Amino acid sequence: MSSESKPIFSVKKLVKDFPTAGGPNSIRALNDVSFELFSGEAMAVVGESGSGKSTIARVLSLLHDKSAGDLNFKETEISGFSGEEIKRYRQQVQMIFQDPYGSLNPVHTIYHHLARPLLIHKKVKSKKELPDKIHALLEEVGLTPAVETAKKFPFELSGGQRQRVCIAKTLAIGADVVLADEPTSALDVSIRLGVLNLMQKMKREHNVAFMYITHDLATARYFAERTAVMYVGHMVEWGETEDIIQDPQHPYTQLLISAVPSPLKRHQKEEKSLHVKNKDIPTWTASSVGCPFVGRCIHAMDKCSQSMPEITKISEKHFVRCFLHDGSGQ
Ligand SMILES: Nc1ncnc2c1ncn2[C@@H]1O[C@H](COP(=O)(O)OP(=O)(O)OP(=O)(O)O)[C@@H](O)[C@H]1O
DSSP code for 4 = S
Identify the CA nearest to 200 among candidates 177, 217, 223: 223
Higher pLDDT, 60 or 102: 60
Tell which phi-psi region holds residue 36, choosing left (phi > 0), alpha (psi between -120 and 50) or beta.
Answer: beta
Spatial contact of 154 and 162, defined as CB atoms under 8 Å apart: yes
The pLDDT of residue 269: 46
Spatial contact of 203 and 41, defined as CB atoms under 8 Å apart: yes
Q: Which amino acid type is present at position 329?
A: G
The pLDDT of residue 273: 40
- One-character DSSP codes across 61-86: TTSS--SEEEEEETTEE-TT--HHHH
Inform me whether the pLDDT recorded for 152 exceeds 80: yes
Residue 54 CA: nearest ligand 1 atom is 22
- What pTM did the predictor assign? 0.91
Q: How far is the CA of 285 from the centre of ligand 1 (A)?
A: 13
Pairing of the two strands 9-18 and 27-37: antiparallel
Higher pLDDT, 27 or 25: 27
Inform me whether the pLDDT recorded for 3 exceeds 70: no
What are φ and ψ of residue 272, in 5° steps? Answer: -60, -35
Residue 215 CA: nearest ligand 1 atom is 25
Identify the CA nearest to 236 among candidates 8, 92, 35: 35
- The pocket around ligand 1, CB under 6 angstroms, is made up of 18, 27, 29, 47, 49-55
Which residue's CA is the closest to the ligand 1 atom numbered 24?
Answer: 49
Percent of the chain with pLDDT over 70: 91
The pLDDT of residue 2: 46
Higher pLDDT, 270 or 249: 249
Q: Tell me: domain 7-107+153-258+275-320, CATH 3.40.50.300, correct?
A: yes
Identify the CA nearest to 95 among candidates 53, 157, 158: 53
Q: How far is the CA of 90 from the centre of ligand 1 (A)?
A: 22
- Overall average pLDDT of the 286-313 stretch: 93
Distance CA 144, CA 277 (A): 52
Q: How does residue 103 score in pLDDT terms, banded at 50, 70 and 90?
A: confident
Inform me whether the pLDDT recorded for 248 exceeds 90: yes
Q: How does residue 279 score in pLDDT terms, banded at 50, 70 and 90?
A: low
Q: How does residue 108 score in pLDDT terms, banded at 50, 70 and 90?
A: very high
Q: How does residue 271 score in pLDDT terms, banded at 50, 70 and 90?
A: very low
Helices (H), the chain: 53-60, 83-92, 110-120, 130-140, 146-151, 159-173, 189-206, 217-223, 241-246, 251-258, 268-273
Max CA separation in the chain (angstroms): 70
The pLDDT of residue 324: 93
Cβ neighbors of 325 (< 8 A, separation 6 or more) are 249, 309, 312, 314
The pLDDT of residue 263: 57
Residue 283 CA: nearest ligand 1 atom is 29
- Overall average pLDDT of the 190-211 stretch: 93
The pLDDT of residue 1: 45
Q: How far is the CA of 99 from the centre of ligand 1 (A)?
A: 17
Q: How does residue 281 score in pLDDT terms, banded at 50, 70 and 90?
A: confident
Of 28, 51, 60, 181, the one to substitute when testing ligand 1's pocket (max ligand atoms within 8 A of C-beta) is 51
Inform me whether the pLDDT recorded for 272 exceeds 50: no
Interface ipTM > 0.85: yes
Distance CA 216, CA 101 (A): 21
Q: How does residue 234 score in pLDDT terms, banded at 50, 70 and 90?
A: very high
Residue 233 CA: nearest ligand 1 atom is 14
The pLDDT of residue 328: 55
Inform me whether the pLDDT recorded for 277 exceeds 60: no
Return the half-sphere exposure (C-beta side, CA atoms, 13 A cut-off) of residue 129.
11
Of 55, 64, 185, 216, the one to substitute when testing ligand 1's pocket (max ligand atoms within 8 A of C-beta) is 55
Q: How does residue 101 score in pLDDT terms, banded at 50, 70 and 90?
A: confident
134-149 pLDDT tens trace: 999 999 999 999 999 9
Neighbours of 134 (CB within 10 A): 24
- Overall average pLDDT of the 264-277 stretch: 48
Q: At what angle do helices 159-173 and 189-206 cross, to 10 degrees?
A: 10
